[in-house]
Structure 1
């Protein structure tokens, strides 16, 4: 039972952070680089 609770708590936290960070990074990268052409130079995304 402890494993279930720990797994659930950690999973939710990691997922929340990842979901919030992913869109932010994409938005910042697009705005900072200004275009898909420049995107290739900075990030594969």
Structure 2
């Protein structure tokens, strides 16, 4: 798998965060590392 994650996967993470899920649960559901998901969410915050 490419290191570059698709917009769809990152978008799914953002939707799940908006629904109240934490980054660890999102990471598990998406099969990504928690640190990667946390980074996505931090970069889009604001």
Report if TM-score (shorter chain) is over 0.5.
Answer: no
Normalised by the length of structure 2, the TM-score is: 0.34
Normalised by the length of structure 1, the TM-score is: 0.34
Structure that is richer in helix per residue: 1
